Amino acid sequence: MEKILIKDGYVITMDARRRVLRRGSVLLEGNRIAEVGEEVKGKADLVIEARGMAVLPGLINAHTHSPMTLFRGFADDMELDPWLREKIWPVEAKLRAGDCYAGALLACAEMIRSGTTCFADMYFFMEEVAEAVGESGLRASLSYGMIELGVPERGEEELRKGEKLVREYHGAFGGRVLTMFGPHAPYTCSPEFLRRVGEKAREYGVGIHLHLSETEKEVREVRERYGQTPVRLLHSLGLLGPRLLAAHCVWLDGEEVELLAKTGAKPVHNPTSNLKLASGVSPVPLMLERGIPVALGTDGAASNNSLDMFQEMKFAALIHKGWERKPTCMPAGRVLEMATLNGATALGLEGEIGSIERGKKADLILVNLRQPRLSPLHQVVSQLVYASSGEVVDTVIVDGRILMRGRKLLSLDEEKVLKMADEAASRLFEEGDFGEESRDEWLELEEELEKKKRKKGKYRAVYRRAHKGT
């Protein structure tokens, strides 16, 4: 069991006391944190000198669509409805397994580089996304995005795909990959289908990840169709609860906020995407005041252009200060909680990640404080939230494995990932010369992916038996 000692850093624990150790150390043994303190004794196989560095829990991106990195910059400055119907959905119809694998690898590389160690993802070809996560070394909760559109035959096929992902990948890669069911939204999935999803989620003991009350138009359509708002509809179906991961939650009234608080549902704030698509501003300060552990997410790169959680923290802090005209409503420390502890809680992993504490998983990052944009250092948490970007991240560790050190990716071949993403985008958008040679490479890639999935099937069955009932 390898031991890593991170020595003499500015340790931001995010523990119950929110301790910040100005000169602290963290000892990792295998994939767990063994000790945290100002003086940590004992020998280690590797010592990382962290003086001039901030050591903090890895950031948690609680809602994104990782393969949509391939769509970055493709359809900017548009209204949501034409953005989806005229741009995004037609290209998504052309997606193949290899495209989603390439896009997910690109997303993983970007997230590692910007300090994200765990993310919640919903999209298509999620078995390929799972393989990309496994290869990258990151932690993730994955769901297949089911769009039923009130058509029973389509619903059967979508539910089959969602269940297949849960059955085959829950607990894969040493438990780094977990799964949920992912009905897209109440306006794209009928109440009967959502009810069936709830039954399946309870059967498998996993959560549900969906979009909820993102736009005013969505809320109006659902009310006209079913006589209830999306939140009240989910409550009537028994889906509001601790295992519901609800992205956006922009258009909520006071009673709906109380329902979320009462049932324990987990909202995810996506400020950059909501601003870019002009969807509105979520009542996050009110939800936090009611004790709801609102998490933070980037949404996909098509509606954000970035998967940088440092950028997302700054947006989350500033948008509400301006909207509420109250500079104290979203302090830096609270926003950092959203990106760490609340994200862990939203994914049901609060006992495993989200803070630097003894016994938790060894998921943490080191930020280089010795650079102009972070100097002088008056308050380290404020500097991280207001003055940082993903470029300040020096080292990333997940499950005790170093994925990046000194800004160099160690778990992925960055040039290979960029090449694959460029080729996938070229095919999807019919730009440039994809060429026969590249097409042959793409077919070989998809064959290799199938081999990888078959090889891991036996291991996943062993994991499921070992974790049955947990």
Quick: pLDDT tens for 258-270.
Answer: 999 999 999 999 9
Lowest mean pLDDT among 4-18, 68-82, 169-183, 297-311: 68-82
Whether residues 45 and 71 share a domain: the answer is no
The H or E element containing residue 364 is strand 364-368
User: Residue 9, exposed/middle/buried by CB under 10 A (0-12, 13-18, 19+)?
Assistant: buried
Q: CA-based Rg of the chain, rounded to a whole angstrom?
A: 21
pLDDT at 283: 98
- Looking up residue 214, the CATH number of its domain turns out to be 3.20.20.140
Indicate the average pLDDT of the chain: 92
**Domain presence at residue 353:** no
The reported pLDDT for the residue numbered 458 is 39
Per the document, the length of the chain is 470
Is residue 42's pLDDT more than 70? yes
Whether 43 and 130 share a structural domain: no
> Exposure string (b/e) for 206-215, b if CB count within 10 Å is 16 or more?
bbbbbbbbbb
Give the residue-averaged pLDDT of 341-354. 98
Return the pLDDT at 6: 98
Could you tell me if 205 and 178 lie in one domain? yes
What's the mean pLDDT in 373-382? Answer: 95
Torsion of CA 268, 271, 272, 273, to 10 degrees: 60
Residue with tokens 């909680």: 337
Q: Which residues, 6+ apart, have CB-to-CB distance to 76 below 8 Å?
A: 276, 305
Asked if residue 418 belongs to a domain, the reply is: no
Shared domain for 177 and 323, answered yes or no, is yes
In a domain, 243, yes or no: yes
The domain that holds 396 is classified in CATH as 2.30.40.10
**pLDDT per residue as tens digits for the range 408-428:** 999 999 999 999 999 999 989
Compute the average pLDDT of residues 93-111. 96
pLDDT at 433: 41
Same domain, 52 and 199: no
Confidence of residue 85 (pLDDT cuts 50, 70, 90): confident
Q: Give me the mean pLDDT over the 443-451 stretch.
A: 60
Nearest to 263 by CA among 243, 233, 278, 283: 243
Domain identity same for 227 and 373: no
Is 447 a member of any domain?
no
Nearest CA among 312, 276, 270, 301 for reference residue 115 = 312
Please give the Cα distance from 77 to 83 (Å, whole number). 9
pLDDT at 445 over 60: no
Number of domains in the chain: 2
389 vs 87 pLDDT, higher one: 389
> What mean pLDDT do residues 19-36 have?
97
Residue 82's pLDDT is: 86
Q: How many helices (H) and strands (E) does the chain have?
A: 17, 17
Question: What's the rounded mean pLDDT across residues 47-63?
Answer: 98
Residue 32 domain-assigned (yes or no): yes
Give dist(CA 135, CA 149) in Å, integer: 34
DSSP state of 58: P
Cβ atoms of 385 and 54 closer than 8 Å: no
| Same domain (yes/no): 113, 248 | yes
Report the pLDDT averaged over residues 144-167: 97
Residues 331 and 375 in one domain: no
Question: Integer distance in angstroms from the first to the last C-alpha of the chain?
Answer: 25
Which amino acid, 414?
Answer: E
The average pLDDT across 89-106 equals 94
Q: Do 51 and 69 belong to one domain?
A: no
Q: Is the domain of 383 the same as that of 403?
A: yes
For position 83, what pLDDT does the model report?
A: 86
Instruction: Please give the Cα distance from 337 to 317 (Å, whole number).
Output: 12
Is 121 within 8 Å of 347 (Cβ atoms)?
no
Please give the share of the chain, as a percent, with pLDDT higher than 70: 91
| 20 and 80 together in one domain | no
Q: What is the pLDDT of residue 448?
A: 65
- DSSP line for 129-140: HHHHHHHHT-EE
**Together in a domain, 235 and 276:** yes
User: 302 lies in which domain range?
Assistant: 59-346
- Classify residue 215: in a domain, yes or no: yes
Mean pLDDT of 335-359: 98
